[in-house]
Chains A and B, each alone.
Chain A
Amino acid sequence: MTLLADILIAALLVAGGVFGLVGSWGVVRLPDMMTRLHGPTKAATLGVGSVLLASMIFFWAHHGHFSWHELLIALFVFLTSPITGLFIAKAHMHLSWTHGELPQPPSGAEWATWGQGAETSPIVTVPEDAPEGE
């Protein structure tokens, strides 16, 4: 029984390690920013997920108690990684395109960077055609 669990844990650890490495390799190797965002999502879901699952099975098989901690961490990582991905994509979008190249948001709203308070950003230069704010 313990050997079977060990084989399962080893397989999960190897899969997790490979996915983690592939994710970070993607961050270095992929050609542009929007494709580079793909790499860490694999590391965050499959890589860390496999390692946490392996940890759960390890404590269940070797120590006889079920460990809920890993489930909590997995839930937190799975919830937060899409949000960070969205934020990074949005920051990149506002750094690399000008106001005129982006489609206008519906119902008269304005993009966050070019709305009110955009002039306080030290990195983004406010384009000429930016509106004064709502």
Chain B
Amino acid sequence: MSILAAALWFAFGCFALAQLLCLYRVVRAPGFSDRVLALDTMTINMIALITLFGIQRGTSFYFEATMLFAMVGFVSTVAFAKFILRGNIIE
């Protein structure tokens, strides 16, 4: 196994564990804002995971998926925070 493959698997393991920790925080959280924060972190980790998958496959085909995750994650987090604040998303 080359050094690159070993480092890739290490990073995969780290981000997968991070994703599980965030999932735990989504399921068991003391407040609403904790769940939103954990979901936001999950999209961030997903961006890293898809990029790692692209490196492993040696293709930039997954760029669109990464960009979609970044955009939808941002919009959904802002919408959720706005909903908690005002009870309305577009006023």
Interface residues of B in 61-91 (CB under 8 A from A): 63, 66-67, 70-71, 74, 77-78, 81-82, 84-88, 91
CA distance A83 to B74 in the complex (A): 9
The answer to whether A92 and B31 touch (CB under 8 A), given A117-B88, A121-B85, is yes
Q: How many A-B residue pairs have CB under 8 A?
A: 189
Give 6 A-B contacts (CB < 8 Å), ordered by A residue: A20-B14, A33-B33, A69-B67, A73-B67, A76-B71, A121-B84
The size bracket of the interface on A is 35 or more
Binding site for B on A (CB under 8 A): 6-7, 9-11, 13-14, 16-18, 20-21, 23-25, 27-28, 33, 36-37, 39-40, 43-44, 47-48, 51-52, 54-55, 58-59, 62-63, 67, 69-70, 72-73, 76-77, 80-81, 83-84, 87-88, 90-92, 94-96, 112-113, 117-118, 120-124
CA distance A126 to B12 in the complex (A): 45
The residues of A that contact B91 with a CB separation of less than 8 Å are 117
CA distance A62 to B86 in the complex (A): 50
